[in-house]
Structure 1
Amino acid sequence: MPRLKVSVIVPVYNTGQYVDECAPSLLGQSLPADEYEVIYVDDGSTDDTLDRLEKLAAGHPNVQVHTRPNSGWPGAPRNLGMEHARGEYVQFVDHDDKLGTEALERLYEHAKRNGADVVIGKMSSTMVRPRRLFRHTVDACTIENDELMQSLSPHKMFRRAFVEEHGLRFPEGPWILEDLAFVTAAYLKAERISILADYPCYYWMKRDDGGNNTRHRFNPRHGFWSNCRTVVRGIKDGTTPSDDIDALQNRLLHRLYHVEVLSRAREPEILREDPAEQLPRFEAARELALEEFPPAVREGLPAVSRVRAGLLESGDFDGARAFAEHVRAVKARTEIGPLRWEDGRLAADITLDLLRGDGEPLVLVERNGTWWLDPELLDGVPGADDGYEVRDPFRLAYAEIVVKDRDREDWWYPEGDLEVRLRPAGDGRSRLVASGRLRIDPERLAGGGPLGRGVYDVWAFVQLLGIDRMVRVTGQGTPSTPAAGPALTGGRLALPYWTAGGQLALDLDQRLRRFGPDTAGAAAANDARAGRSLPLPYVTAASGGRVRVKAAVSALTVTAELVPSTDGTAVRLRLPARLALPAGRHPVTFPKADAPVAYAVVSDGALLRLEGPAYVAGPGRRLLDTVVGDPRVRRVRRRLGRSR
């Protein structure tokens, strides 16, 4: 029996139908079934979950089922699963999530190639925004890469010997933040951590019944604050304290402060919850912030986050709510230039900035060589009459383009970076903008490979001054119209367009948007004298080489060729010289297209020429076609040929 490479550990409790929805992704892995095992641990379910699990195990030799009394949280079932695991690596999966088909095989190979203690696979999700941690695959890093703190869920692959060597276990019982405790401890102990970003490994799915544990994550009755304190102290025990805001300990604590603590003092939570309920949370967060987080953590925050932190730590609940009202109204704006195809990429200049609630740009005001936060954000905030100095406008600022696969929930990052800079706005004011080039290469975007057939929506994420926004990339084009001309890429048509909501999208291989009416006008300009091939000037040859497409001619289908020119700037349509068609003028269309891109003039099975859709033959041309196609004329020509 081959050595087991991976043990997949799945804690379950009253999972019901979600067992059947998750199981195919675990049992249909590309890794051979005798090289991995799936260990389900039932935490005292009271529904039919155990029956479903036992049926799975009966039909699959690599499935184990273990049971235990209910513990109230996933930590104890995961620990029991590790006790039974035999794989070289363990991969944790929640019962309502899914794995990509090649996830285990790719993660294991990446782990072995790099000798990794921990491997973080790219996550796709219906619940959270994309993480820039997954921009690039990383062979090996350590906790010094503080972007690891963006991913603290347990859905990773861990070397089992590493886990045993350091005695890593999940806290048991109803212990909120058990995943943070386990993962941060693993990060601190690991000598090599790998990131696999070129394949979607883990799909973190939103349950229709709202039963995901993450939806009930904040519950003070289950020890949220004491547990958070435990995680913070674990990080402090494993790192060296420092007054430097960029020291490792302060960078690692930044995530916990920002997400678990400062959330109690910012939108949407402080505005959404009843003040009578939120005020105790606010006070508990303040106590934790003052007692456990060094001042350098707060000092290392960007300007808006530092204002929030100051209001929290001073206990100013009303001020925090007033400030949150102003910040909630801030929106991100995208400005995009003309779109065009360049070297196989859909390209345009793009700029992002922030607008206040009144629609005016969010600005910084210069006073005596220093920058001060936009006064409009501080209006009505107690103690802010003199303004708020912004020591470093670029602190933790960045922006990026992300492309979402609408069908698969995958996020991909186009090449290139956006630059954040200050742009003068007049009267001693400036605004922070992020600008650069949008470049979308359909043949290389999906982890260095081609995108699958589908629709891809273009988004941007921007974080400026501590305000982060996910925004649709929009332009000045009319909704539901082309954003640029179609392109031939990898043998498929790529159709950029503006959605009904005005967002930039790319339809690849006519998933929803068909080629036809939008290009009929351009198609009419084709040269009718081109012979057996016809230029398609409105289609860009985004990828080189000869490709084949199906072209429907009348009721029959023939194989046509789309041949890019040597310089990649044009495409020509070419049909075979002989066609099993009656004499006449036959429309040529792309698969699933609505309008013809050409007409084939056929006589006696021979292709006489291709014409543009709007071409109307004159009397001379029609007479010539008739003569050439007349059988009597052909017999005379054959006799003349024999008599020579």
Structure 2
Amino acid sequence: MPRIKVSVIVPVYNTGKYVDECAPSLLGQSLPADEYEVIYVNDGSTDDTLGRLEKIAAEHPNVQVHTMPNSGWPGAPRNLGMRHARGEYVQFVDHDDTLGPEALERLYEHAKRNNADVVIGKMSSTMVRPRRLFRHTVDACTIENDELMQSMSPHKMFRKAFVEEHGLQFPKGPWILEDLLFVSAAYLKAERISILADYPCYYWMKRDDGGNNTQHRFNPRHGFWANARTIVRQIKGGTTPSDDIDALQNRLLHRLYHIEVLSRAREPEILREDPAEQRKRFDAARELALEEFPPAVREGLPAVSRLRAQLLENGDFDGAVALASRVRDVKARSTVAGLRWEGGALVADVTLDLLRGDGEPLTLVERDGKWWLDPELIDGVPGAEDGWEVPDPFRLAYGELVVKDRDREDWWYPEGDLEVRLVPLGDGRSQVVATGPLHLDPERLAGGRPLQRGVHDVWAYVQLLGVDRMLRVSGDEEPGTPATSGPALTGGRLAIPYWTVKGQLALDIDQRQRELGPDTDALVAANPQRARRSLGLPYMAAAAGAPLPIEVTVGTLKTEAKLLPGADGTARLRLPARLKKLPDGRHPVTFPKAEAPVAYAVVRDGVLLRLEGPAYEAGAGRRFLDAVGDNRRVRSMRGRLGR
């Protein structure tokens, strides 16, 4: 009997339908079913969750279900799951999230190859910004890689013997920040930590009912401040104190200070919450900052964050509110120049900077050989009447470009880095900017693999002077139009760069939303309406006359469709509007006696939302274009591109 390689532990409570939505991703893994197990721990659910779980277990021998009295938090169920786990590694999954189809196989292989205690798989999410941690795959590192602190959720793979050796457990009962306590302890103890960044392993999804496992993220009644203090002391106990702002302990504490403490003194929270309630949070944050965080942590912050920390630690609530109202209005701007195709990649020169609320650049002013923060930003802020010195304009400053797969919520990092530098503006004023190349290779961007069919939006993240912003990369070309760089054939697939109606840069692979128009010099919007029941088949000739009935298979459903003749002799495929017998999802559409799909039908609640063109396997695009080479649009485009 094969040994169990991975135990997937899933705590559940009143999960209902989300059990059924998560289960297929757990049970359909590429790792053989007899090499992994799924352990559901029912935390005293009062709805139909237990019945749903028992039905899944009855149909799948590698599924266990355990029930315990309600503990009110996922920590105790995870501990129970670990006690029942037989796998060499344990992987934690929340009941409303999903795994990539090859996640367990890839994570386990990466773990074994590197003898890792902890493996962090690339996370995709509908809720949070991308993390630099997943820019590159790392075979082995330790807690010295402080970027690990960007990923503190428990949705990772841990070697079970390592967990048992160090007695790692989640706190029981309602214990907010339980994930930070467990993960930081694991990071401190681990001798080898691996990062798998070239495959989306974990999808952290926002529920359509507004709930998810982070809904109690900040709740003082659940011991937030005491728990944060416990985590700080755990990190201090596992590292060496130092006055050096770049010492390991101070770098690790920076994350807790910035996210869990300083958030109580910054926008949007301090401007959004009831002032009386927020003042209590502010005072509690101040107490924790003064008692537990060494001064070097505050001194190591960039300019605006350091000023905010000074106001917090001085107890200046009004000053923090004033600063927050100013910083809230700061916006990021992108400039794109020279957009073009080079060597199969879409390239451009990109610059990112920050603008004050009045639209003017956020600047530094040089005085007496020192740099001072923009006086317009801090005018009227108590505690900054004499200005605010910026000893290091580049402190923790960076900018990066990222590409988001709009359909799949995956974030990918183009090649190259942006450089942060000072640009003189005259009169002793300078601006901190991030500038460098965009190099987007559609055939390699997705972890060394081709981008999948769909629209891919170009984003940027910038952190300058302690102000961080995420923005869509925009240019000066006409919104809603093709990019002047034009389309290109990359790996045999049509890649169409264009500007959205808001002037933001996007790349359409395989004509998902943009397609070649009747004139090959033009591009037209495809799928202008949400519901599209017909799809052009340019490679299929159709005689003029009445529509031709044809039987097609949509997923597992056979139904009658129609081929509609087009004016240019091509055909369009039309499906019925209602496909009640099909579950929600994306289903292949095939003709009789044919294996390859001619289209995909997207169905929800028994209604056809839209038809999409074929999703080609990696590397198959060239063969597809060869097969339709007699289509005049494709032939003309090939000629224009010299292919």
Counterpart amino acid of residue 214 in structure 1:
T
**Are the aligned partners of 1:493 and 1:508 in contact in 2 as well (CA < 8 Å)?**
yes
**Deviation of the 1:279 alpha carbon:** 0.5
Q: Give the aligned partner of residue 479 of structure 2.
A: 479
Aligned equivalents of 1:463, 1:575: Cα separation in 2: 46
**Are the aligned partners of 1:552 and 1:587 in contact in 2 as well (CA < 8 Å)?**
no
Aligned equivalents of 2:330, 2:98: Cα separation in 1: 35
Q: Give the aligned partner of residue 408 of structure 1.
A: 408
Aligned equivalents of 1:34, 1:241: Cα separation in 2: 48
Counterpart amino acid of residue 519 in structure 1:
T
Give the alignment of 1:273-312 within 5 angstroms. 273-312=273-312
**Deviation of the 1:521 alpha carbon:** 6.6
Aligned equivalents of 1:447, 1:369: Cα separation in 2: 46
Once the two structures are superposed, what CA deviation does each residue of 1:219-246 show, in whole Å capped at 9, x if it has no partner? 0000000000000000000000000000
**Deviation of the 1:256 alpha carbon:** 0.2
**Deviation of the 1:106 alpha carbon:** 0.1
Aligned equivalents of 1:518, 1:326: Cα separation in 2: 50
Aligned equivalents of 1:519, 1:341: Cα separation in 2: 18
**Are the aligned partners of 1:461 and 1:470 in contact in 2 as well (CA < 8 Å)?**
yes
> Counterpart of 2:214 in 1: which secondary structure?
helix
Give ranges in structure 2 of 5+ residues lacking alignment. 524-536, 542-567, 572-621
**Deviation of the 1:208 alpha carbon:** 1.2
Q: Give the aligned partner of residue 640 of structure 1.
A: none
Counterpart amino acid of residue 219 in structure 1:
N
Q: Give the aligned partner of residue 185 of structure 2.
A: 185
Indicate whether 1:344 and 2:344 are aligned: yes
**Are the aligned partners of 1:153 and 1:183 in contact in 2 as well (CA < 8 Å)?**
yes
Q: Give the aligned partner of residue 633 of structure 2.
A: 589
Q: Give the aligned partner of residue 219 of structure 2.
A: 219
Aligned equivalents of 2:570, 2:336: Cα separation in 1: 43
**Deviation of the 1:519 alpha carbon:** 3.3
**Are the aligned partners of 1:302 and 1:466 in contact in 2 as well (CA < 8 Å)?**
yes
TM-score when normalising by structure 2: 0.83
Structure 1 518/431 Cα, relative in aligned 2: closer, same or farther at 3 Å? farther
Structure 1 611/165 Cα, relative in aligned 2: closer, same or farther at 3 Å? closer
Give the alignment of 1:526-541 within 5 angstroms. none
Counterpart amino acid of residue 490 in structure 1:
G
Counterpart amino acid of residue 419 in structure 1:
E
Aligned equivalents of 2:50, 2:14: Cα separation in 1: 9
Once the two structures are superposed, what CA deviation does each residue of 1:507-526 show, in whole Å capped at 9, x if it has no partner? 0010111112573379xxxx
**Deviation of the 1:375 alpha carbon:** 0.6
Aligned equivalents of 2:625, 2:16: Cα separation in 1: 56
Aligned equivalents of 2:329, 2:230: Cα separation in 1: 35
Aligned equivalents of 2:625, 2:520: Cα separation in 1: 19
> Counterpart of 1:589 in 2: which secondary structure?
helix
Q: Tell me which stretches of 4 or more aligned residues in structure 1 moved more than 3 Å.
A: 517-522, 549-557, 573-576
Structure 1 597/67 Cα, relative in aligned 2: closer, same or farther at 3 Å? same
Q: Give the aligned partner of residue 506 of structure 1.
A: 507
Identity %: 80
Give the alignment of 1:212-361 within 5 angstroms. 212-361=212-361
Structure 1 123/518 Cα, relative in aligned 2: closer, same or farther at 3 Å? farther
Give the alignment of 1:125-136 within 5 angstroms. 125-136=125-136
**Deviation of the 1:336 alpha carbon:** 0.4
Q: Give the aligned partner of residue 168 of structure 2.
A: 168
Once the two structures are superposed, what CA deviation does each residue of 1:578-613 show, in whole Å capped at 9, x if it has no partner? x9xxxxxx97234xxxxx949xxxxxxxxxxx999x
Aligned equivalents of 1:587, 1:311: Cα separation in 2: 67
Give the alignment of 1:57-206 within 5 angstroms. 57-206=57-206
TM-score when normalising by structure 1: 0.83
**Deviation of the 1:216 alpha carbon:** 2.0
> Counterpart of 1:430 in 2: which secondary structure?
strand
Structure 1 475/517 Cα, relative in aligned 2: closer, same or farther at 3 Å? farther
Once the two structures are superposed, what CA deviation does each residue of 1:502-550 show, in whole Å capped at 9, x if it has no partner? 110000010111112573379xxxxxxxxxxxxxxxxxxxxxxxxxx97
**Deviation of the 1:575 alpha carbon:** 9.1
**Are the aligned partners of 1:551 and 1:589 in contact in 2 as well (CA < 8 Å)?**
no
Counterpart amino acid of residue 209 in structure 1:
D
Once the two structures are superposed, what CA deviation does each residue of 1:128-158 show, in whole Å capped at 9, x if it has no partner? 0000000000000000000000000000000
Indicate whether 1:419 and 2:431 are aligned: no
Once the two structures are superposed, what CA deviation does each residue of 1:333-385 show, in whole Å capped at 9, x if it has no partner? 00000211001110111101000000000000000110000011111111211
Counterpart amino acid of residue 495 in structure 2:
A
**Are the aligned partners of 2:508 and 2:514 in contact in 1 as well (CA < 8 Å)?**
yes
Q: Give the aligned partner of residue 495 of structure 2.
A: 494
**Deviation of the 1:301 alpha carbon:** 0.4
Once the two structures are superposed, what CA deviation does each residue of 1:45-95 show, in whole Å capped at 9, x if it has no partner? 111101100000000000000011111100000000000000000000000
**Are the aligned partners of 1:41 and 1:66 in contact in 2 as well (CA < 8 Å)?**
yes
Counterpart amino acid of residue 233 in structure 1:
R
Once the two structures are superposed, what CA deviation does each residue of 1:93-123 show, in whole Å capped at 9, x if it has no partner? 0000000000000000000000000000000
The number of residues matched between the two structures is 548
Aligned equivalents of 2:190, 2:625: Cα separation in 1: 59
Indicate whether 1:465 and 2:465 are aligned: yes
Counterpart amino acid of residue 180 in structure 1:
L
**Deviation of the 1:210 alpha carbon:** 1.9
> Counterpart of 1:214 in 2: which secondary structure?
coil
Counterpart amino acid of residue 262 in structure 1:
L
Q: Give the aligned partner of residue 15 of structure 2.
A: 15
